[in-house]
Chain A
Amino acid sequence: MLDGILLGLDTAFSAQAIVFLVGGCLAGTLIGMLPGLGPMTAIALMIPIASTLEPATGIIMMAAVYYGAIFGGSTSSILINAPGVASTVASSFDGYPLSQQGHAGKALAIAAGASFCGGIIGAILLMLGAPVLAQASLLFQSSDYFALMVLGLVSVAAFAGNGGLIKALLMTTIGLMLSTVGTSQAQGVERFTLGSIDLIDGISFLLLVMATFALAEALLAVLRTPASGLQIVEQSKRKSLGSMRITKQEVRDISPTVARSSVLGFIIGLLPGAGATVASFLAYASEQRMAPRKQSPAFGEGAPRGLAAPEAANNAAATGSFVPLLTLGIPGSGTTAILLGALIAYGIQPGPMLFINEPAVFWAVIVSMWLGNVVLLVLNLPLIPYIARILMVPGRLLLPLIMFFSIIGVYLVSFNTFDIQLMVLFAVAAVGLRLLNFPMAPMILGFILGGLMEENLGRALLIYDNNWSFLWTRPLTFGILLLAAVALFVPLLRTLVNRKKGSDQ
């Protein structure tokens, strides 16, 4: 492990990696701060730049963008009560009241400190746990990988649906369908190309992510706001941040909360589909329950513990979600699905062999998490008053710029104008589906895992001589599929019962 850490330090401490780490943290904070634009959009917008870098540097930068965006989301939750992402909604419960009381600076410092601790604790747990899991997962065969992917897809659909499990499953299926467009890798047969030469290589992952997140997000903002009202923050909300100092007593009060929430967040982050949002809400709720009776009412009215808990948990969960990605090659969330797509685009296959074949990437990502959290605390926090000025940029200027960066980011990869038209088409479809409350993250996950799933299933059938019995005769495959069935049917039954109740009422 020590060799690995040294290798990671060597890679992450190169001048280029540090420049892109700092740049990624700043860019992530900037983008994540804009209401509506979360880590997925932030990472999507940075992929064109990452694709020009070496794999280790590119992944370090994208990981930095990830935690930068979560930090940025917390900032907008605290300052203007407009969470950039779902995972920072819980931070606004106490962060915004603190800000309203004139303690915005203190709230930001608590959020940054708790995020830092959550990230560091998460990175230590990741460092200890990931190599062990990677070694264990060397026992996995194609059939087990296929089962794991089914589990990942089902779990993400079960969580991402927000009560609409069937819609999430349907979107996962749509993503899988889109992944079959182009020439099939195993058979070399053209599928769903409609005779177009532009579709022979399939739909680009970058194009789909940019269209369904960055472009669709900007289009939704255009659809929902009148031209005259496009200002992200009204003049009345522009306030001074106040002091960023936290008292010793406050540090003593929030320390146990941060430790508990970090461990809880990391464990939840490990579970496919659960992610930072569930972690932050659970941490908030458990701290509220554990708070002494005299402190409990302060929750929701500016309690430092109420802000520290979700902040530590969401950062630790973001770190935890890297474990299944790095060790099994199975992304546990939409954001890590985008990172998986980026790794595949680099020609790197995440999974147990990543630990053996690409140790520099593996350890550099882990080491970069420590560095990224240090950068966020040391560099971003003092810069917040300046970074927050992006919220003052009128939306009427910002939205066309987001559209421009999305379009040009995709065009610069292929120099094919067909991609721009396809991107607009996907963005329109995504906007329509989002207006009908269909989630997009399961679709992206399905799209990214589709090719791998088909490949592993095909290989498993080849190994087992065209016999499907491996699905129930191989214990590991069967066990994982059983878990997937439980993950699917428990929420499905709940959804059906709730809907029945709803229709009866």
Chain B
Amino acid sequence: MTFNPDRAGGCILLVFCCAYGVLALDIPTTTTQMGSAFTARTMPFALAVAGIGLSLLLILMPGRTPAKSRMPVYWLQGAAFIVLMSAYGLTIRPFGFLLATITFLTIGFWLLGERKVITLITVPAIIAMLFWFLLSELLGVYIAPGPAIWSTHV
């Protein structure tokens, strides 16, 4: 049995479905549901069984021979962006929209190979300020522009 992409995905989803099934056991059933044919657990149980069955079918079925992909995958670049996006989520409140967005875009452009300092500074700054103006002035959606410590709210 060769380990092809279908089986790899099947294994990952099997773990997910098993975990889902185990967690479904924790769903409380209220006293009013006791004699009922359909409780809060019914659908999750059925889905867990279906998911486990389909994952096993995918793993046990004769898999297709994977065509060797010649396209390289730039894992490090991708990982850097995942960290960057997560960091953006963590900083948008304490740093404020403008600073967090400018930093996110500048680092993003730089990671993808932009090296012109003028582009790295002006494009993110213009986009962040324009977007903030559009939100707060035109659409009436307030988003704190600066760091939380500048805020006068208690």
Contacts and interface: CB of A to CB of B under 8 A. Distances in A.
A473 to B, nearest CB: 15
Given A403-B81, A502-B64, A223 B104 contact: no
Most buried by B among A189, A396, A400, A458: A400
Interface in A396-427: 396-397, 399-401, 403-404, 407-408, 411-412, 415, 417, 420-421, 423-424, 427
Contacts of A399: 108, 112
A433 B37 contact: no
A188 B31 CA distance: 13
Q: Is the interface of B mostly helix, strand, loop or mixed?
A: helix
Interface string B33-65: 101111110011001101100110110011111
Contact of B13 (A170, A219, A420, A462): A170
Interface stretch (A106-114, A173-181, A273-281, A360-368): A173-181
Contacts of B9: 167, 433, 436-438
Interface stretch (A60-68, A224-232, A243-251, A255-263): A224-232
Contacts of B73: 223-224, 435
B58 A167 contact: yes
Q: How large is the interface on B (under 10, 10 to 19, 20 to 34, 35 or more residues)?
A: 35 or more
Given A173-B51, A420-B88, A401 B105 contact: yes
Nearest to B49: A173
B38 A424 contact: no
B146 to A, nearest CB: 16
Contacts of B127: 401, 404
A404 B58 contact: no
A140 interface: no
B23 interface: yes
A412 B43 CA distance: 32
A174 B58 contact: no
B105 A227 contact: no
Nearest to B85: A424
Nearest to B13: A170
Contact of B30 (A164, A189, A403): A189
Interface string A420-454: 11011001100111011110000000000010011
Interface in A149-189: 164, 166-167, 169-170, 173-174, 176-177, 180, 184, 186-189
Contact of B43 (A427, A457, A462, A467): A457
Interface of A: 52, 164, 166-167, 169-170, 173-174, 176-177, 180, 184, 186-192, 194, 215, 219, 222-228, 230, 394-397, 399-401, 403-404, 407-408, 411-412, 415, 417, 420-421, 423-424, 427-428, 431-433, 435-438, 450, 453-454, 457-458, 461-462, 466-468, 496, 499-500, 502-503
16 contacts: A180-B44, A191-B24, A222-B77, A222-B78, A224-B71, A230-B112, A403-B85, A407-B88, A417-B93, A428-B82, A431-B78, A436-B8, A437-B9, A438-B9, A466-B38, A502-B65
Given A396-B112, A407-B88, 10 more contacts: A52-B141, A192-B24, A230-B112, A400-B105, A404-B127, A417-B93, A428-B82, A431-B78, A432-B12, A468-B37
